[in-house]
Amino acid sequence: MMTVLLLSIGLSLTINVNQNEYIKQAGDTAGVVVVIRPQNQMPFPEDDGIIVSPGHATSIAVTQVNKSVAQKPRIVPFPCIT
């Protein structure tokens, strides 16, 4: 049984990895890979995942950064006064 906690928001996950059902020929590593990403972004657990092993407490801190691109300033020509 594995528990993942995110204390500041109160998210707690308990995951049963069924380690006794792992196939030894497929690999000797047990656990889960956690990927936290925006909803519209494709997950790549091999590159961006956090490996969480069973039998250990794991805490993950997440900070959201919002970026916006400012529009180019509009140049309004001065009227010529003669």
Residue-wise pLDDT tens digits, 18-67: 877 777 766 677 788 889 888 898 999 889 899 888 888 888 877 888 88
Give the whole-angstrom CA distance, residue 17 versus residue 51.
13
Q: Is residue 65 part of a domain?
A: no
Q: Which residues of 2-31 are buried (b: 16+ CB within 10 A; e: fewer)?
A: bebeeeeeeeeeeeebeeeeeeeeeeeeeb
Q: Is residue 11 part of a domain?
A: yes
Q: Is residue 25 part of a domain?
A: no
Phi, psi of 32, rounded to the nearest 5 degrees? -130, 160
The per-residue pLDDT for 38 is: 85
How big is the chain by its Cα radius of gyration, in Å?
Answer: 24
Q: Is residue 82 part of a domain?
A: no
Q: Is residue 8 part of a domain?
A: yes
Domain that holds residue 43: 2-18+32-59
Q: Is residue 12 part of a domain?
A: yes
Domain count, the chain: 1
Phi, psi of 25, rounded to the nearest 5 degrees? -70, -25
Q: Are 15 and 33 in contact (CB under 8 A)?
A: no
Residue 10: pLDDT over 70:
no
